[in-house]
């Protein structure tokens, strides 16, 4: 059954490639070794094509290789395409990248990630987010120790950033005790913004919240950055990465691709294209950047069991 499903996935990849073959990006006319770049369709194809076609044409010129671009709706199809040698380069989410690396026995590796602009909480561009433990200033909860036995807001049992992250990583800060053991009452607010408001209105003593969402709440004027205490922050949790299959892409080409993406900020054309892809830059990414995410996924796996 798995073999049949894998074949169907790969056929879906091939079908998607043929469907969007008109978006092929040509670089060096005489180059006989084109690369295939895949990503997941997250919006209308016309918008996605406009955003990525010019960027891949630019990257193709930088590395001297034709790059074929196609979109599919399934991460599984992209991974099957990489494992089968059809897809050479792909944009993968952090969880599916970890799965892909395991399935490929380490052959699929990250090279860069699209970084968001500097924020209130991160003065440098970062292809990541962090979870934070917040309390309201003046409420008497100025230390982690002061929160023992107090109320805590989480987002949702199924949320990675608003639940699993805190449950997987924070216990190490309090001697290995689980959140349920350390805090007096835990409730789920339904969203990161609602968790922040629960702290601000006194409904919860503390909350774990993604800093990217917290910044939006502050930008909306619902509270100020200085209204809160920040008692803990998680390691950087990576977002989507551009990956290559090292079995089908040479080390030399891998380095060229990494340098081309990372160097887009150094040219006017590259800077303009970054605006199209809505990134500040493409930051260098390594497999070790995903270690914190691995701990979170391992926790989720153990919890399901």
Q: How confident is the model at residue 35 (pLDDT cuts 50, 70, 90)?
A: very high
Q: How confident is the model at residue 42 (pLDDT cuts 50, 70, 90)?
A: low
**Spatial separation of the C-alpha atoms in residues 222 and 232, rounded to whole Å:** 22
Q: For the packed helices 291-304 and 94-103, what is the interaxial angle rounded to 10 degrees?
A: 90
Nearest by Cα to 249 from 17, 36, 72, 52: 36
Whether the pLDDT of residue 8 is over 70: the answer is no
Domains of the chain and any CATH numbers:
2-118+239-291 (3.40.190.10), 131-234 (3.40.190.10)
Beta carbons of 108 and 242 less than 8 angstroms apart:
no
- Residue pLDDT, tens place only, 46-101: 666 777 889 999 999 999 999 998 788 788 889 999 999 999 999 998 989 999 99
Whether the pLDDT of residue 11 is over 80: the answer is no
Whether the pLDDT of residue 7 is over 50: the answer is no
Beta carbons of 97 and 110 less than 8 angstroms apart:
yes
Q: How confident is the model at residue 45 (pLDDT cuts 50, 70, 90)?
A: low
**48/130: higher pLDDT:** 130
**Spatial separation of the C-alpha atoms in residues 193 and 155, rounded to whole Å:** 9
**Spatial separation of the C-alpha atoms in residues 104 and 151, rounded to whole Å:** 43
Whether the pLDDT of residue 147 is over 70: the answer is yes
Query: For the residues 298-304, what does the mean pLDDT come to?
Result: 84
**74/148: higher pLDDT:** 148
Write down the pTM of the prediction.
0.79
Nearest by Cα to 59 from 25, 92, 23: 25
* Positive/negative CA dihedral, 152, 157, 161, 162: negative
């Amino acid at each position: 059954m798995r073999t049949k499903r894998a074949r169907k996935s790969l056929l879906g990849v091939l079908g998607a490639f043929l469907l969007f073959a008109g978006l092929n990006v040509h670089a060096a006319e005489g180059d006989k070794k084109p690369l295939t770049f895949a990503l997941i369709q997250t919006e209308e194809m016309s918008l996605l094509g406009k955003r990525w076609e010019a960027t891949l044409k630019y990257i193709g010129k930088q590395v001297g290789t034709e790059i074929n671009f196609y979109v599919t709706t399934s991460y599984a199809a992209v991974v099957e395409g990489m494992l089968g040698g059809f897809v050479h380069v792909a944009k993968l989410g952090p969880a599916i990248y970890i799965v892909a690396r395991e399935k490929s026995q380490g052959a699929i590796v990250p090279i860069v990630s699209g970084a968001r602009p500097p924020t209130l909480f991160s003065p440098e561009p970062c292809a990541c987010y962090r979870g934070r433990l917040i309390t309201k200033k003046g409420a008497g909860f100025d230390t982690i120790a002061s929160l023992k036995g107090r109320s805590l807001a989480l987002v949702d049992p199924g949320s990675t950033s608003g639940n699993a992250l805190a449950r997987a990583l924070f216990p190490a800060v309090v001697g290995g005790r689980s959140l349920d053991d350390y805090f007096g009452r835990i409730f789920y607010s339904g969203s990161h913004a609602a968790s922040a408001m629960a702290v601000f209105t006194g409904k919860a003593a503390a909350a774990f919240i993604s800093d990217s969402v917290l910044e939006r709440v502050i930008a909306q004027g619902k509270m100020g950055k200085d209204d809160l205490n920040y008692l803990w922050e998680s390691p950087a949790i990576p977002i989507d990465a551009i990956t290559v299959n090292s079995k089908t892409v040479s080390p030399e080409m891998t380095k060229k691709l990494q340098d081309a993406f990372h160097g887009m900020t150094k040219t006017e054309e590259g800077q303009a294209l970054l605006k199209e892809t809505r990134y500040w830059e493409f930051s260098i990414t390594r497999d070790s950047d995903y270690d914190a995410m691995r701990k979170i996924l391992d926790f989720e796996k153990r919890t399901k069991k």
